[in-house]
Amino acid sequence: MDSNLVIYNTLTRTKEKFEPVNPPLVGLYVCGPTVYSDVHLGNCRTFVSFDLIYRYLLHLGYKVRYVRNITDAGHLEGDMDEGDDKFAKKAKLEQLEPMEIVQKYTIGFHDVMRLFNALPPGIEPTATGHIIEQIEMIKQIIANGYAYEVEGTVYFDVEKYCREYNYTILTNRQLDDLLENTRELGGQNEKRGRLDFALWLKAKPEHIMRWPSPWGVGFPGWHIECSAMSSKYLGDSFDIHGGGMDLAATHHTNEIAQSQACNQVQPAKYWMHTNMLTVNGARMSKSKGNGFLPGELFTGNHELLSRGFSPMSVRFFMLQAHYRSTLDFSNEALEASDKGFKRLMNAYGLLEKLIASPVSQMNIDDLSRRCYDAMNDDFNSPVLIAELFEAVHLINSIYDGKLSATQSDIDNLKKLMDSFVLDVLGLKEETTQTDDLAKLMDFIIGLRSEAKFNKDYATSDKIRIGLNSLGIQLKDNKENVTTWNRV
């Protein structure tokens, strides 16, 4: 397994050659969603980005174990505990079983991921399903001297940890500054240090999700689940840990501290962070109220949208930007991507219809190499897509008879498009053409050709315009061969 893949590592803030711990095995852990409400499009972008990464690693021949957790505890509890509206809180507590919420939004999340054609992870562990592992890990951290218990709550001792490790390795912040500028968290009077965070929290009487532990009845802290589950399924030290950039400063920083304190090793060799999806330049988030739900996008039921956009067009839109760049979301940008996507897929469809000639006027190997170069450069999908449009241009020109290609050229083009469009980018035709429809269309096109041959243009136009209003577009090429596609 010798690839030229280079990955930007947040730990070092540089691009590094990718060298797995145990090739050809690759362990990939990605922080998944907290399932207490619908995932919005910004969440989806991260998972589509890591789907691209997963797919490309598979394409290169790595045997990838992809673990993406479902957070169904901790955050959820925190969310319910806060806020001033005690009435609402009570209603929530009385009317809904937390696991009902978890189930509902987990299913919704999976449905959306399927629409985006994201490959499911190999393991999708839940926090509530790994309480024992989390407790064991906390016990080990205490035994190692990096955590302490106060009144049923266990805190991580950041100050102690800092004496031996670099706590802010991911973000490069200064500790003094952190101490001065961090907001007061709960439990200040019982914590030893201001930056100490909870590994295990004592449950208040009204708390529904609770488990017994050596420290009494309680529930796990916000960060321990990922440490416990990643080491369980990928080992104490694995290859890639990923998530959204917003997680780096707190969640991942604490995750590294916990894993180091427990296992004395840096949990992941490469830390990858995806950037945010923005709306009018500002981050899409629930608290800002500017989040798009996938459903609103697909139906077009949103004030900023002129119409609905298909999941594949949206996926293509996301892949046209690099995963480490912010991507600005707008109706106009989506329109552009939608057309580009259709152009790409239309050319893909023409591959079957190309006619070979003895002369070659192109170098597919060179194009293929450029595609690999793009992806090897930290998964640069926008450059890959630019190269694929070169392939589109070749395919269209061959189809038009303006360029000649040998059968070998055509085979290689097909292979290139299959690999990169379908396997790596994970794009697919959205409308399945049933055999019945294909036969029917052949028949109708035949009727129209007859009419055209007889110069009965009234009839042929009636067919063309009629089909167009049904969403089917006819295209006559120079040889008067008619093809069709949905619009």
Partner RNA sequence: GGUCGGGUGGCCGAGUGGCUAGGCAGAGGUCUGCAAAACCUUUUACACCGGUUCGAAUCCGGUCCUGACCUCCA
Q: Are 276 and 244 in contact (CB under 8 A)?
A: yes
For residue 211, with 0-12 CB atoms within 10 Å meaning exposed, 13-18 middle and 19 or more buried, which class applies? Answer: middle
Nearer to RNA, 259 or 320 (CB): 320
Q: For 61, which DSSP code?
A: T
* 325 near RNA (CB under 7 A): yes
Select the residue interacting with RNA from 5, 26, 31, 135 (CB under 7 A).
Answer: 31
Select the residue interacting with RNA from 204, 393, 415, 486 (CB under 7 A).
Answer: 393
Q: Fill in the per-residue mask, 164 to 203: x = in contact with RNA (CB under 7 A), - = not in contact.
A: -------xxxx--xx--xxx-x------------------
Beta-carbon count within 10 A of 99 CB? 13
For residue 177, with 0-12 CB atoms within 10 Å meaning exposed, 13-18 middle and 19 or more buried, which class applies? Answer: exposed
- Site residue total, RNA (CB under 7 A): 90
Question: Comparing C-alpha atoms, which of 356, 348, 294 is closest to residue 44?
Answer: 294
Q: Are 384 and 425 in contact (CB under 8 A)?
A: yes
* 467 near RNA (CB under 7 A): no
Q: Fill in the per-residue mask, 245 to 274: x = in contact with RNA (CB under 7 A), - = not in contact.
A: xxxxxxx----------------------x
* 462 near RNA (CB under 7 A): no
Question: Comparing C-alpha atoms, which of 399, 472, 476 is closest to residue 433?
Answer: 472
Nearer to RNA, 188 or 436 (CB): 188
- Supply 10's token pair: 């947040």
Considering only residues 37 to 66 of the shown chain, the ones binding RNA according to CB under 7 A are 40, 42-43, 45-46
CA angle 308–309–315, rounded 5-degree value: 155
Smallest separation, CB 432 to RNA (Å): 21
* 108 near RNA (CB under 7 A): no
Smallest separation, CB 100 to RNA (Å): 19
Q: Put the strands of the sheet holding 63-68 in their side by side order.
A: 63-68, 25-30, 238-244, 268-274
DSSP string, 409-460: HHHHHHHHHIIIIIIIS----SS---HHHHHHHHHHHHHHHHHHHTT-HHHH
* 244 near RNA (CB under 7 A): yes
* 17 near RNA (CB under 7 A): no
Q: Residue 441, SS3?
A: helix
* 226 near RNA (CB under 7 A): no
| Residue 168 to residue 159: CA distance in whole angstroms | 12
Question: Comparing C-alpha atoms, which of 196, 71, 60 is closest to residue 130?
Answer: 71
Stretch that binds RNA, among 84-92, 151-159, 336-344, 409-417 (CB under 7 A): 336-344
Nearer to RNA, 160 or 322 (CB): 322
Select the residue interacting with RNA from 276, 351, 410, 417 (CB under 7 A).
Answer: 276
Smallest separation, CB 196 to RNA (Å): 12
Nearer to RNA, 142 or 474 (CB): 474
Q: Residue 50, SS3?
A: helix
Considering only residues 67 to 96 of the shown chain, the ones binding RNA according to CB under 7 A are 71, 75, 78-79
Q: Are 485 and 473 in contact (CB under 8 A)?
A: yes
AA identity, residue 69? N
* 396 near RNA (CB under 7 A): yes
Q: For 406, which DSSP code?
A: -
* 152 near RNA (CB under 7 A): no
Nearer to RNA, 139 or 452 (CB): 452
CA angle 405–407–409, rounded 5-degree value: 55
Nearer to RNA, 139 or 368 (CB): 368
Cis peptide before 24 (omega within 30 of 0): yes
Nearer to RNA, 37 or 237 (CB): 37
* 353 near RNA (CB under 7 A): no
* 306 near RNA (CB under 7 A): no
* 441 near RNA (CB under 7 A): no
Smallest separation, CB 208 to RNA (Å): 18
Nearer to RNA, 243 or 311 (CB): 243
Smallest separation, CB 77 to RNA (Å): 10
| Residue 441 to residue 486: CA distance in whole angstroms | 12
* 322 near RNA (CB under 7 A): yes
CA angle 232–233–239, rounded 5-degree value: 110
* 414 near RNA (CB under 7 A): no
* 315 near RNA (CB under 7 A): no
* 337 near RNA (CB under 7 A): yes
Q: Residue 173, SS3?
A: coil
